[in-house]
Amino acid sequence: MCGFYCIISSDQINLESSKKSLDLMIHRGPDSQKYFLEKDNRVFFGFNRLSIVDLSDKADQPMQDRKSQRIIVFNGEIYNHCKLRDFLKTKNYIFDTFSDTEVILKAYDYWGDSLLEHLEGMFSIVIYDPLANKIFFARDRAGEKPLYFYQNKERFYLSSEIKPIHHCSKNKDISFEALNNYFEKGFVPKNLTMLNGIQKLKPGHKAILDLNLLELKISRYWNLDKHIYQSKKINSKEDNYYINKLEELLGNAVESQLVADVPVGIMLSGGVDSSLIVATASKYFDKLNTYTMTFPKMKKYDESKHAQLIAKKFKTNHVELSADEVEPEIFYKLVKHYDEPMVDSSMIPTFLLCKEVQKNCKVALGGDGADELFGGYSEYNRYNYLSNLQKFFPNPLRASLVNLALTILPKNIKGRKTLDLFGKDIKNLDFNGANLFDYEMRKKLFSDDSHLRRSGQEKKVVSNDLIKSLTFEDYNNYLSEDILVKVDRASMATSLELRSPFLDSEITKFAFVEVPSHLKVHKNQRKILPKMLAKKVLPKNFDFKRKQGFGFPINELFRSGKWHNFLEDKINSDQNYFLDKKYCNQLLAQQVKGDNIGESLFAIALFLVWCEEYVN
């Protein structure tokens, strides 16, 4: 778990400038910093290491294979590296370390770029092959680890974060496509970033940069949609089959992810997902370390009693970390570590929790991914209900009646969005659970209408099964561009490695290929299969109906006081020339009067602070 920064240049690379850029993400790897500079000063590989497996200097990066002369930098963890090492030893490969980094180098020598099919873990990998004069790079299936790249006439950059590239390229041009996606969906999707030209490699993709032709070829190696198409042939089985298989697969994933040469803990919110991780991990560790964030002044967001129940049941060393009053200046810390804005106020308690956990552990496990794989969001119930209801109303008639009703009804009437959805073709709709700024609202939000873009409404339908299609959409977008970005940046900002057992590739395939949708969402129930397993392994008095999530009192904070005043100052600042001040002040006034649009205001605040640091 670390951070890398690479430059491939047609001219001489300035070593001191490159090292300063690498220093900008020392938080990702404070244990050691090393670099490789090719003899003609045209290839630079820099690395900040967070030592987790094989703590010796031999396992430092950049790592070079003596025989092939290949150089690797790698951010992440390969959980099956011991198994791969044993196999490669039978093929006469000799190892100098116990690190997963060396395993990747040898596996690349043996399998070429198809090695990715054999890796189980989270990773972004860059390999320089001087003999073939090419660069190979790749990113893990779900997108747990970031990988950014940028190319101009003289240089090609690769990095774990945007900061080093931004520092060198001085790129301050906003991508208006990314801007529109941010304010509508809450994140920047696909290969885009908020800065023009700087791209991210999509999850489950690999690339080869031919240094002779300066030609870049990107391809996909993880085809989850193909697995989903094949699932049509699989017959449904008894419930016990799915419960037992999930228990087995989760056990395998948790056991492999508990392996580290440093202390390991578990983030315990007291919800189903993290509680299942604790229950599973307790089979392999006698005394687990668990951590929960409490909000003493905001009882509504305090999950401690639920976490205490699980900690008591499994006899963990449980630590409650209290969140003191959070000052609005935390926006500057968020911008520093996230590099581009995203709308998820739970990044704040995630960041605070990681900061405290890191004082006791270098590695922690969390329950991320279960909601997307097994249908955990309340929107799924609503979409499913409306889809079933639509069967009784022909589409043209339904759309006409709904459009008529929407012109008559007040703009702020409760249920208006649900009615609007009812008039649309839900199965082919671009699913967006953020509910931030639609096209008409962005017309008012942007001070310059040339920034405005209409987002595409069609999505790729991978199945006639609505729940399968919706969860696939969230896995491909919301999970990789929001949840996993939040987790990676918050944890690495504090030099903590955070692992997600639910994102094991076998669990992912099981969830999408085998598990029928009625075991995910049915009527008012959701995440049904994990709850069935939880009833088997968790205490009898566990509350299965609650779905709090990792909440934060964003609505209350923006209603008055420091946070309200902070945002008001940012809106009316001379530096705010992207957003319409009158409209933003109107939204802030609505919040004061009792509206709950805290996430929309969070989007505005974070964007304006980001502009101060990256654009102005």
**How does pLDDT run across 189-242, given as a tens digit for each residue?**
889 999 999 999 999 999 999 998 889 999 999 999 888 877 666 677 999 999
pLDDT recorded at residue 457: 46
Q: What is the mean pLDDT of residues 340-362?
A: 93
Whether pLDDT at 510 is above 70:
yes
Token duo for residue 261:
């040469």
Asked if pLDDT for residue 458 goes beyond 50, the answer is no
Q: How far apart are CA 590 and CA 601, in angstroms?
A: 11
- E strands of 179-220, at which residues? 199-200, 205-210, 215-220
| Residues 495, 266, 121: CA angle, nearest 5 degrees | 70
Residues 287-304 as b or e (16 or more Cβ within 10 Å = b): ebbbbbbbbeeeeebbbb
Helix (H) or strand (E) holding 75: strand 71-78
Backbone torsion region of residue 386, taken as left when φ is above 0, otherwise alpha when ψ lies between -120 and 50, otherwise beta: alpha
pTM given for the model? 0.94
Ramachandran area for residue 103 (φ above 0: left; ψ -120 to 50: alpha; else beta) = alpha
Classify strands 289-294 and 317-322 as parallel, antiparallel or unpaired: parallel
For helices 330-338 and 347-357, the axis angle rounded to 10 degrees is 80
pLDDT at 421: 74
Task: Assign 3-class secondary structure to 521-580.
Answer: EECCEECHHHHHHHHHHCCCCCCCCCCCCCCCCHHHHHHCCHHHHHHHHHHCCCCCCCEC
| Distance, CA of 532 to CA of 443 (rounded, Å) | 46
Model confidence pLDDT, tens digit, residues 76-104: 999 999 999 999 999 999 999 999 999 99
If residue 5 lies in a helix (H) or strand (E), which one and from where to where? strand 2-9
Local structure of residue 271 (DSSP, 8 states)? S
What pLDDT score does 233 carry? 63
Tens digit of each residue's pLDDT (9 = 90 or more) over 376-419: 998 899 888 888 887 777 777 777 777 777 777 776 667 777 77
- At residue 547 the predicted structure's pLDDT band, cuts being 50, 70 and 90, is low
| pLDDT, mean of residues 472-482 | 94
592: Cβ contacts below 8 Å, ≥ 6 apart: 559, 560, 564
Q: Which of 302, 122, 295 lies closest to 203 in space, CA to CA?
A: 122
**363: helix, coil or strand?**
strand
pLDDT at 287: 87
C-alpha 502/C-alpha 283 separation (Å) is 17
CA distance 275 to 254: 12
Q: How high is the mean pLDDT of the chain?
A: 91
Tokens of 352: 């605070």
Q: Is the pLDDT of residue 542 over 80?
A: yes
Q: Is the pLDDT of residue 526 over 80?
A: yes
